[in-house]
Chains A and B, each alone.
Chain A
Amino acid sequence: MSEVFSFGSYYPGESLLHRLDPRTKLLGGVAFLIISLLARDFLALAAIGAFVVALYAIAGVPAGRAARSLAPLLAIVVVVSVLRLFTDHSGPMLFQLGIFSVSEGSLYSCAFTAVRMLFMMCGMSLVTMTTMTLDLTQAVERLLAPFARVGLPAHELGMMLGIALRFMPQFATELQTTYRAQVSRGARVASGPLGSVRMLSSVSIPLFASIFRHAETLSAAMDARCYHGEEGRTRMRPLRYARRDVVAAVALAALALCVVLV
């Protein structure tokens, strides 16, 4: 299953990209998307492509793994670019079939959109491939921190996100056990609307009960370990920008210049 939905799932490594500050990667990813949208012609796209290939090489992610990670999203690329094919009507008409018409311009923009989307996905999936989810939540927390002054509970959001991630696999297991237990007692999904409702409540109520039970002990356990909000709290691995983050920023700026100037 994990092999199918592997878009951007973490690829362990120790490369420069892996060690980059997660905030840099998150912001860099967004900047990369904007730069890609600024590209006007294939020359600019070539620069972006070269950049992406270089990054994958630095990260040490094998091509096969990268391709497998993108495969599930190719459908979106195809749909969007085919839509472009039929909506753009610039340039000389090539052929027409009923309401569908294809022109030189539409062919061009179709290819252009497809390549651009592919690069954008490659770039974004690289962010999550080289960053652990936990670091991402910390990055989100720190990036939102300035908004804490206007009342946004940045620390609490980060903490909640982290705990939710930690409990996700556990609830998945519990849900499966409960489902199997109720199936053992003859519950069936396909036994009419009444049966389905019964089935749903017989699985969801134990899950909620379990969530409350876990939450109660978890909060006591956090209390017992002196948790009292963000105040006075330190981090074992505080996020610190290093020289490599500057290098990354410079590289992105160079790319932006390339794309805009050509």
Chain B
Amino acid sequence: MIEIDHLRYTYDGAAWALDDVSLRIADGEFVCLLGGNGSGKSTLAKHLNALLVPDEGRVMVDGLNTADPEFVYDIRSSVGYVFQNPDDQLVATLVEDDVAFGPENLGVAPDDIAVAVRDALREVGLTDFERHETHALSGGQKQRVAIAGVLAMRPRVLVLDEASAMLDPRGRAGLMRVCRELHDAGMTIVMITHYMEEAALADRVVVLDAGKIALEGTPADVLARAAELERLNLEVPPSCRLGLALQRRGVPIAAYVDERDAVHAIERLVSGEAAQPARPDAPSQAAVAASGEPLISFDHVSFSYETSARERSRRRRKKHAKKRAAWGSDPEAVWALHNVDLTVHRGEFLGIAGHTGSGKSTLIQHMNGLVHPTMGRVSVRGSNLADKHASAQAKTLVGLVFQYPEHQLFANTVYEDVAFGPRNLGLSADEVDERVHEALAFVGLRFDEVAQKSPFALSGGQQRRCAFAGVLAMRPEVLVLDEPAAGLDPAARRDFLGLIARLHSQGLTVVMVSHSMDDLAELCDRVVVMNEGGVLMDGTPCEVFCRADELRRVGLGLPAAQRMAGALRADGLPLAADRLYTIESLADELARLAGEETR
């Protein structure tokens, strides 16, 4: 289907973004492209549908050369391309108009377009969404509309360029389901991703590094090579990590890429019926966070975007009268937050989980008085934020880092940008200077190297650090982060989370919103789960993640180790149900059980 021969490409004429890449993709194959940021994945993908044309070498799609301008539209209609950001690629206000855009460009007859649109929407599971407005959809739904827009051109290959990177777990699951179904129906799929669980579903994995193909093979073959993947800024899927951890403990087991396979293999090995679940001597994770003095407290806080009480009751009536939408968060919902009681203690690391639209963002914006509760009160260090002075004070005490903070960079130089906060505080030039030095050092940027550069000239990861420094320069006591690692590759993600953990260990109180249950389980002292504007659960990670069924009901998952432990327990292995497992502790436990077995 696609033949790439000795492809070389450069953006600036100085360095090869792709250097001598040769690749064959067969009809009906599911290929996953992996690689760290800047490894050339997207550049390669853009060659598949002639968005880019090789500088050297040749790309053939279905026997057509992409360099020939005559075939450009034939190639683009047979190779559909879905981009990363769902907000960037939808052209129309209405779903059906957007899906129709491709066929319209191809000059398809009106009646055939209508059929193609209906079919495409059905294939992505969005039947009857024709007249919805695109901006009101959830991220996952927008991506599925984007896929439908491509499918309406009846392509034979679908290229997904990190299409799942900006989605929450629910959205990602929906997207993967669509991909699997299309692949089963015979579509060739080329997917770029940072999520190893997704790569595990592919027929073949291709890892790029600095514009060259570094590894290639089946997922089972490639994804288990821990050392090499680490070097390439990638990570090993959790089921493989468990397999490798077991191997290190002398248990003869292969590293499986697919979680179900891993669970079955382990189960065959360890069917210890007699063995008793081990009781850890000390409640290992139950070590309750030292509950310091309360810093931020929410007292029966409710918030509605509708400020007038009359309007609220009218909306409530309307909501009851109308049938509730079957999907996503309800736009008619009256309360974004409802009766929330919550305390953030000094020195703790609080995690907040919940699917999109559950009220997380609204919640954290209350913490420094950006938005004020419609009912109830929020106080920081005992003073009510309804007071103007207290609210201004809270902005220096509580540093808020928004999602994708690099999108808020604005100054001419990194120095100016980081200095923005301290200057707003009215500090002297010397103090400002000192704080900029300190903040840049905190985030691991070298002052001499970056201070006088334009923030827009930095790499993506550096931009995020710079924006982060801008908040740290305020010297907050509490750091509130909304999805701090969103959109980073595994290596950058590890670095960044390590940075946050370091700040926490230096005494900063941290509140982190995250979609990644693994990150929450690993880093937090306490986890709060939000659902429909209320607090659903509040407890130690162990307490929260032992309630698997409830979490699944609100569209959330479990940390990988906990998920595998649950599957093993369901198959009859004696694993404690009230314990939070990490990959390592689960491996310890399984190795012990396997040891008893052989004895």
Judge: A and B partners, yes or no.
yes
Chain A positions near chain B (C-beta within 8 angstroms): 3, 132-134, 162-163, 165-166, 169-170, 174, 177-178, 180-188, 191, 195, 198, 201-203, 205-206, 209-210, 213-214, 217-218, 220-228, 232-238
B76 interface residue per 8 A CB criterion: yes
Question: Residues of B within 8 Å of A, CB-based: how many?
Answer: 64
Q: Which residue of A lies closest to B149 (CB)?
A: A225
Residues in A neighbouring B407, C-beta threshold 8 A: 174, 177-178, 206, 209-210
B97 interface residue per 8 A CB criterion: yes
B239 interface residue per 8 A CB criterion: no
Which of B88, B97, B100 has the largest number of chain A CB atoms within 10 A? Answer: B88
Contact (Cβ within 8 A) B410 A205:
yes
Contact (Cβ within 8 A) B150 A166:
no
B103 interface residue per 8 A CB criterion: yes
Contact (Cβ within 8 A) A166 B103:
no
A18 to chain B, nearest CB (A): 12
Contact (Cβ within 8 A) B395 A221:
no
Residues in B neighbouring A174, C-beta threshold 8 A: 407
Question: Per-residue CB proximity of B78-114 to A under 8 Å, as 1/0?
Answer: 0011010101111111101100111111111110011
Question: Per-residue CB proximity of B398-413 to A under 8 Å, as 1/0?
Answer: 0110100101111100
A170 to chain B, nearest CB (A): 6
Residues in B neighbouring A180, C-beta threshold 8 A: 365, 370, 402
Residues in A neighbouring B400, C-beta threshold 8 A: 181, 184
Q: 15 A-B Cβ contacts within 8 A?
A: A165-B93, A169-B135, A177-B402, A184-B370, A185-B395, A185-B421, A201-B410, A206-B410, A214-B88, A218-B89, A220-B46, A227-B105, A233-B105, A236-B100, A236-B117
Contact (Cβ within 8 A) B110 A238:
yes
Given A182-B408, A202-B420, A226-B76, does the pair A234, B102 have CB atoms closer than 8 Å? no
Residues in A neighbouring B365, C-beta threshold 8 A: 180
Instruction: Select one of B83, B89, B105 contacting A226, CB under 8 A.
Output: B105
Contact (Cβ within 8 A) B113 A236:
yes
| Chain B residues numbered 383-421 whose CB sits less than 8 Å from any CB in chain A | 392, 395-396, 399-400, 402, 405, 407-411, 420-421
Contact (Cβ within 8 A) A186 B424:
yes
Contact (Cβ within 8 A) B405 A181:
yes
Residues in B neighbouring A206, C-beta threshold 8 A: 407-410
Residues in B neighbouring A235, C-beta threshold 8 A: 104, 110, 113
Residues in A neighbouring B425, C-beta threshold 8 A: 186
Contact (Cβ within 8 A) B107 A166:
no
B153 interface residue per 8 A CB criterion: yes
Q: Which residue of B lies closest to A203 (CB)?
A: B410
Instruction: Select one of A181, A214, A225 contacting B87, CB under 8 A.
Output: A214
Contact (Cβ within 8 A) B89 A234:
no
Chain B positions near chain A (C-beta within 8 angstroms): 46, 49, 51, 73, 76-77, 80-81, 83, 85, 87-94, 96-97, 100-110, 113-114, 117, 134-135, 149-150, 153, 311, 365, 368, 370, 392, 395-396, 399-400, 402, 405, 407-411, 420-421, 423-425, 456, 470-471, 474
* Tally of A-B Cβ pairs under 8 angstroms: 155
Which of A174, A221, A223, A236 has the largest number of chain B CB atoms within 10 A? Answer: A236
Given A221-B91, A233-B105, A236-B110, does the pair A187, B410 have CB atoms closer than 8 Å? no
Given A180-B402, A181-B402, A214-B88, does the pair A233, B107 have CB atoms closer than 8 Å? yes
Instruction: Select one of B96, B101, B114, B474 contacting A185, CB under 8 A.
Output: B474
Complex: how many Å from CA A185 to CA B410?
13
Residues in B neighbouring A198, C-beta threshold 8 A: 420, 423-424
Complex: how many Å from CA A157 to CA B291?
61
Which of B73, B370, B405, B407 has the largest number of chain A CB atoms within 10 A? Answer: B407
Q: Which residue of A lies closest to B152 (CB)?
A: A225
Which of A210, A213, A218, A226 has the largest number of chain B CB atoms within 10 A? Answer: A226
Complex: how many Å from CA A112 to CA B424?
57
Contact (Cβ within 8 A) A226 B471:
no
Complex: how many Å from CA A191 to CA B423?
12
Residues in A neighbouring B85, C-beta threshold 8 A: 217
Q: Which residue of B lies closest to A223 (CB)?
A: B51
Instruction: Select one of A3, A202, A237 contacting B311, CB under 8 A.
Output: A3
Instruction: Select one of A169, A170, A187, A188 contacting B420, CB under 8 A.
Output: A187
Complex: how many Å from CA A206 to CA B417?
12
Complex: how many Å from CA A221 to CA B76?
11
Residues in B neighbouring A133, C-beta threshold 8 A: 93
A39 to chain B, nearest CB (A): 37
Contact (Cβ within 8 A) A226 B474:
no
Instruction: Select one of A3, A132, A169, A225 contacting B76, CB under 8 A.
Output: A225
Which of A209, A218, A225 has the largest number of chain B CB atoms within 10 A? Answer: A225
Contact (Cβ within 8 A) A217 B402:
no
B170 to chain A, nearest CB (A): 21
Q: Which residue of B lies closest to A195 (CB)?
A: B424
Complex: how many Å from CA A178 to CA B405?
9
Contact (Cβ within 8 A) B92 A226:
no
Residues in A neighbouring B94, C-beta threshold 8 A: 132, 134
Residues in B neighbouring A134, C-beta threshold 8 A: 92-94, 97
Residues in A neighbouring B103, C-beta threshold 8 A: 234, 236
Residues in A neighbouring B421, C-beta threshold 8 A: 185-186
Residues in B neighbouring A223, C-beta threshold 8 A: 51, 76
Instruction: Select one of A169, A184, A228, A236 contacting B399, CB under 8 A.
Output: A184
Given A185-B474, A209-B456, does the pair A236, B96 have CB atoms closer than 8 Å? yes
Residues in B neighbouring A170, C-beta threshold 8 A: 87, 135
Complex: how many Å from CA A227 to CA B106?
8
Q: Which residue of A lies closest to B99 (CB)?
A: A236
A192 to chain B, nearest CB (A): 11
